[in-house]
Chain A
Amino acid sequence: MAGAISSGPPTSTRTYQGLGQYLMLPSWVIIGFFLVLPVGMMLIYSFLTKEFRGGVIWEFSLSAYDQFFFDRGLFGDEPAKIEWTYITIFWRSIWQAALATVLCLIIGFPTAWFIATRSGRNKAILLFLITIPYWVNLLIRTISMKFLIRDTGPLNTWLIEFGLISEPLHMVNTNFAVQLGLFYSYLPFMVLPIYASVERYNNSLSEAAADLYASKFVILSKIVLPMVKPGIIAGCILVFVPSLGAFLAPDLLGGAKNFMIGSLIEEQFKGNAGNWPFGAAASMILLSMVLVVLLFYARAQDKGGQNHG
């Protein structure tokens, strides 16, 4: 039966016969080495006991998670209260990341639309311009941003020169600065996927809607947005997830008061003050939150897929 069915060139099937199970090997190695192994290590470390000079003692312990959620006093002998410090940091991070996502969407969508509706040559140039900042290291760009917005920086100088303000605006080490840093760092991740879906959008759908008495607003909300939704969702995830774990922008622009998860985790692995299991536990909690977001995304995609048949 099998012989009768195989109608393709016999050589190719024979060449790879028996090899089938090994052909996936490179993928498994990559996934194993770069995904399963580090995450697995993180997971194990989060359940170990901390060594005071950094590192871990190989002894099972829940204290990292306990420390994250509960306050048992300085010596750990008081009745457990809820520890708000880290939950607040997480909450602030989520809020900052969500805000950055919304801002990127508000600016990124029209930008992507503008680029996608230009003629071929201009389109290529504009796309190129969007990617140019990425040729410079994020650290350098974030420090430059700090320079731009500091009290004696060019932005304040110009604002004073133009007479818009009389005193320099204090921007460094504020939520605003963190927000600006996140927005600036991740805007292209919003623009590019939306651009890709707008580019595929068939403009005759807009014409058909206009022909059927739809106003500009109805065309946007009932036709365009549903059609480019996959790009928007992809862009939102690509901005939200790295914003949530970002540490450069909050570290350099936000200062100690505007701590985000990324900085918290980074601190646990830096120098002697660190607490590896605690950093690992915080990472695992962050990872679970990201997974929840991705799960929602997958479900939204699924529904969309069903609708599209």
Chain B
Amino acid sequence: MIKRMDAAIAVDIDNVTKRYGDFTALRNASIDIRDNEFFTLLGPSGCGKTTLLRCIAGFEDISSGAIRLYGQDIAELPPNKRPVNTVFQQYALFPHMNVLQNVMFGLQRLGKSDSEAKARAGHVLDLVQLTQLAERMPSQLSGGQQQRVALARALAPEPRVLLLDEPLSALDLKLRQAVRLELQQLQKETGITFVFVTHDQEEALTMSNRIAVISEGQLQQIGSAREIYEAPVNKFVADFIGETNLIDVDVKKITDGTATCLLPGGTKFSCPAAKGAHEGPGHLSVRPERVTIGKAKGSLITGTATRHIYLGTDMHIDINLQDGDVITARVQNSETANIPEVGDEVGISFEASAARLLVD
């Protein structure tokens, strides 16, 4: 209870469930989004992340649980009474109003005088570098410019929380990368809490203070980019965030968060275990860049190099194990890189700190 009074919590999502008929879009999700944080809801499409965002905005009612905004329960408030603003995926700019009118819309609804609204809108347009285009109609703008207008329109009323529903998905790759940095910068400048929804893990990793990974309506893990990448709690998170090798192991013993297990081929190996991992058959996650290739003798696992994939700065090398599984190693391209020929017998090694026993 004390935690709920804490001003540092911007959005308190407390055991929220959202059902559509028989379908459960979101199951018992509890997330604390901190004040002045760039928080990302990450998951594949249809996982419930947009549903959660729409629940915060007020477009959807929650089936059970509570959502509190700076301590205030907002379940009963309609969208137009909630001090949050949304940047929509397709922007939803008002096509019959020009850029300035779009940005002024929310300010006018809040009862700001025309001159006040104009000044504030001008300031926000300045922030997103659109001052020159204030008189244009939305249909006269490029995708990137429309995206900025949507952003300016949502920022203008100075919401306590800004909700962003995959705002970059309609932009091309180059622009997307530039806007990422700008968004991050904007969040720091305005001090507004950003809740960002995306299915793009790279976007999530580069921009967020913290990330919530969601899959099939179920919250999987909350943590910083680094925590989620380096210490995934389960198979889904390890697999969804970046690339990883999932190695079948037989777990013999888990003590104090350290698992002792048998690798394919029978080598005994100890490494950290995720909370909730159990003995018996399990999976180790090892990122390809942490896998080293060397001589078969003295290695952890042996196999045959079967494929090279050239990626410019790096090279992916697939190694087939005796049992048919494939482990991928990522090797940096350089003069001295030790790259085996296809068909070579090789040995694979990795540090104990690079591996992690997962919850299935």
Contacts and interface: CB of A to CB of B under 8 A. Distances in A.
Interface in B178-200: none
A215 B78 CA distance: 10
A233 B321 CA distance: 72
Contacts of A208: 86, 88, 92-94, 153
B140 A309 contact: yes
A209 interface: yes
Contacts of A213: 80-81, 106, 109-110, 157
A88 B131 CA distance: 57
A144 interface: no
Nearest to B156: A212
B94 A207 contact: no
B302 interface: no
Nearest to A309: B137
A211 interface: yes
A211 B85 contact: yes
Nearest to B150: A208
A207 B90 CA distance: 12
A104 to B, nearest CB: 24
A219 to B, nearest CB: 9
A226 B105 CA distance: 15
B109 A212 contact: yes
A307 B106 contact: no
B57 A211 contact: yes
Interface residues of A, number: 20
B169 interface: no
Interface in B76-104: 78-81, 84-86, 88, 90, 92-96
B329 to A, nearest CB: 46
Interface residues of B, number: 28
A202 B92 contact: yes
Contacts of A308: 95-96, 137, 139
B95 A227 contact: yes
B59 interface: yes
Contacts of B59: 207, 210
Contacts of A307: 96, 137
Interface in A201-238: 202, 204-205, 207-215, 218, 222-223, 226-227
A227 B86 CA distance: 21
A205 B92 CA distance: 5
Contact of A214 (B93, B105, B140, B154): B105
A209 B86 CA distance: 10
A202 B90 CA distance: 10
Contact of B92 (A207, A214, A215): A207
Contact of B88 (A207, A214, A218, A227): A207
Contacts of A227: 95-96
B139 A223 contact: no
Contact of A309 (B90, B139, B154): B139
Nearest to B163: A211
B80 A223 contact: no
Nearest to A223: B94
B169 to A, nearest CB: 14
A211 B79 contact: yes
Contacts of A212: 80, 85, 105-106, 109, 153-154, 157
Contacts of B79: 207, 210-211
A210 B92 contact: no
Contacts of B58: 210
Contacts of B140: 309
Interface in A181-211: 202, 204-205, 207-211
A227 to B, nearest CB: 7
Contacts of A205: 92, 94
A92 B94 CA distance: 41
B170 to A, nearest CB: 13
Contacts of B106: 212-213
Nearest to B78: A210
A22 to B, nearest CB: 38
A226 B96 CA distance: 7
A218 B109 contact: yes
Interface string A229-268: 0000000000000000000000000000000000000000
B203 to A, nearest CB: 22
A136 B153 CA distance: 52
Contacts of B154: 211-212
A223 B105 CA distance: 11
B93 to A, nearest CB: 8
Across chains A and B, which 4 residue pairs bring their CB atoms closest together, nearest first? A212-B106, A213-B109, A208-B92, A309-B137
Given A204-B92, A205-B94, A307-B96, 8 more contacts: A207-B79, A207-B86, A207-B92, A208-B88, A212-B105, A213-B80, A223-B94, A226-B96
